[in-house]
Amino acid sequence: MATKSIPFSKEEIEKIIEKFPTPFHIYDEKAIRENARRFKKAFEWNEGFKEYFAIKATPNPYLMKILREEGFGIDCSSEAELELAKKVGMSGEEIMLTSNDTPASEFSAAKDLGAIINLDDISHIEYLEKNVGLPETICMRYNPGNLKKGNLIIGRPEEAKYGFTRDQIIEGYRILKNKGVKKFGIHTMVASNELDPDYFIETAEILFSLIAEVHEKAGVKISFANLGGGVGIPYKPEEKAVDLEYVSAGIQKLYKQKIAGNGLAPLKLFFELGRAITGPYGYLVAKVLHIKKTYKQFAGLDASMVNLMRPGMYGAYHHITVVGKESEPHNQKYDVTGSLCENNDKFAIDRMLPEVEPGDIVVIHDAGAHGHAMGFNYNGKLKSAELLLRENGEVVQIRRAETIEDYFATLDFSGLKDFEV
């Protein structure tokens, strides 16, 4: 049976649990750094290459500080994420705001930080100018429509809410040029969690062709192209990770043909990966609370969809390790569940595992992105802590668990006595 490894032994995780009760997320710093360096090295041929980590995947300043040290920027989609970038000490073109249906306050916060603003709609040009003023650098998001297939998470591009059409984006560059904008970027992203490496090469080809068309029709030379994110990770043990070196070589070949060959170089290439950077190196650690046997067999955990929404929301697969029982026969079938009053609160359905019992430690893999970040407080459940496994083996808390006091912090109970019903 295909398996996945974990970066700690049974004895080590038991010691961690003595100090930090389950459930919690724990991230492997060494693996994250090594992954970041590999990604940068794959694209070192492009002068000015930069990865803007999509902080929505794992919005923790400690992780962002690590990635900034590795040379990454930050991709934000809200005012709170911009504030997180500010608190990490980031400013200027280290930050990109890629948002949609954007309020003026977010545009203003981005402009104050000197961030690159990535517009999602042609109407936002006038809105930005009226409410905030146009910066010297502007990026715009392209939606290729039926030129490109999407996938389950984002949907078909022509039905997605994101981006300019081809005609709109060319007109947008004309408008911005006439209004005095000096530096231009282009961006696209039409899939999420994609494992086909050719998908990203095809995306670059579409974008590079559009860059040539923009130059011809709008007289605008694009300075940077953000190829977006969407690089998936092998959630299932038998799946293969995206070959970044293969992707890079394919994009480099297109760059020479369509960018350098048409006199459009230099063109800086950016990405905004989130999942592919931290996803495989985060783990949700929980304990088995109950074993229930009715029409099916259920293993109930002290974690729930509050801690990891993806299986319940998308039917997504996350591998599960029962710590200390890795080599035992996986001959028992379980639905692995949480305690929410929702029947889709399940981490796995009909999953073959070794026989489990209350008190067993369970590690849910690939929870380093869109795990803690997508948490919520339904049923009054509280979000758990985040821990960091440092390179020297030390474990530190980088976000404490929520408390009952946190949950009620926005309510004014003192007004109840004067409230009439």
Query: Residue 12 annotated as binding?
Result: no
Query: Residue 273 annotated as binding?
Result: yes
Bridge partner residues of 362 (DSSP): 286, 322
Q: Does 264 map to a domain?
A: yes
Bridge partner residues of 286 (DSSP): 362
Query: Could you please report the per-residue DSSP string of 352-385?
Result: EE----TT-EEEE-S-TTTTGGG---GGG----E
Residues 172 and 216 in one domain: yes
Structural domain count, the chain: 2
Catalytic residue among 341, 409, 411, 421: 341
Q: Band of the pLDDT at 421, cuts 50, 70, 90?
A: confident
CA distance 326 to 361: 11
Q: Does 412 map to a domain?
A: no
Query: Residue 142 annotated as binding?
Result: no
Residues 304 and 212 in one domain: no
Query: Residue 274 annotated as binding?
Result: yes
Average pLDDT of span 337-363: 98
Domain boundary among 278, 307, 323: 278
Mean pLDDT of the chain: 95
Q: Does 2 map to a domain?
A: no
Residues 291 and 148 in one domain: no
Query: Residue 33 annotated as binding?
Result: no
Q: Enter the DSSP assignment of 66.
A: H
Domain boundary among 278, 295, 321: 278
Query: 237: domain range?
Result: 29-278
Q: Band of the pLDDT at 407, cuts 50, 70, 90?
A: very high
Q: Does 18 map to a domain?
A: no
Residues 273 and 389 in one domain: no
* Per-residue confidence (pLDDT) for residue 150, from 0 to 100: 56
* Per-residue confidence (pLDDT) for residue 261, from 0 to 100: 97
Q: Does 188 map to a domain?
A: yes
Q: Band of the pLDDT at 3, cuts 50, 70, 90?
A: confident
* Per-residue confidence (pLDDT) for residue 148, from 0 to 100: 56
Radius of gyration of the chain (CA): 23
Q: In this structure, which amino acid lies at residue 111?
A: K
- Comparing C-alpha atoms, which of 313, 238, 304, 318 is closest to residue 275? 318
Burial of 1 (0-12, 13-18, 19+ CB in 10 A): exposed
Average pLDDT of span 73-91: 98
Residues 210 and 174 in one domain: yes
Q: Does 6 map to a domain?
A: no
Q: Check: pTM over 0.85? Answer yes or no.
A: yes
Query: Residue 156 annotated as binding?
Result: no
Query: 8-62 pLDDT, tens per residue?
Result: 999 999 999 999 999 999 999 999 999 999 999 999 999 999 999 999 999 999 9
Residues 189 and 129 in one domain: yes
Residues 273 and 372 in one domain: no
Would the pLDDT of 355 be above 80?
A: yes
Residues 270 and 299 in one domain: no
* Per-residue confidence (pLDDT) for residue 7, from 0 to 100: 96
Range in 46-50, 133-137, 190-194, 227-231 with the lowest mean pLDDT = 190-194
Residue 139 appears among annotated catalytic residues? no
Q: Band of the pLDDT at 156, cuts 50, 70, 90?
A: low
Query: 177-224 pLDDT, tens per residue?
Result: 999 999 999 999 888 899 999 999 999 999 999 999 999 999 999 999
CATH number at 186 reads: 3.20.20.10
Average pLDDT of span 352-367: 98
Would the pLDDT of 155 be above 70?
A: no
Residues 249 and 314 in one domain: no
* Per-residue confidence (pLDDT) for residue 418, from 0 to 100: 87
Q: Is the dihedral of CA 286, 289, 293, 295 positive or negative?
A: negative
Q: Does 176 map to a domain?
A: yes
Cα distances (angstroms) measured from residue 180 to each of 112, 130, 138, 175: 19, 15, 11, 9
CA distance 323 to 344: 25
Beta strands in 162-237 (DSSP E): 183-187, 224-226
Q: Does 182 map to a domain?
A: yes
Query: 270-321 pLDDT, tens per residue?
Result: 999 999 999 999 999 999 999 999 999 999 999 999 999 999 999 999 999 9
* Per-residue confidence (pLDDT) for residue 417, from 0 to 100: 87
Residues 119 and 56 in one domain: yes
Residues 383 and 251 in one domain: no
Domain boundary among 258, 278, 298: 278
Average pLDDT of span 242-250: 97
Residues 192 and 246 in one domain: yes
CATH number at 362 reads: 2.40.37.10
CA distance 301 to 22: 10
* Per-residue confidence (pLDDT) for residue 204, from 0 to 100: 96
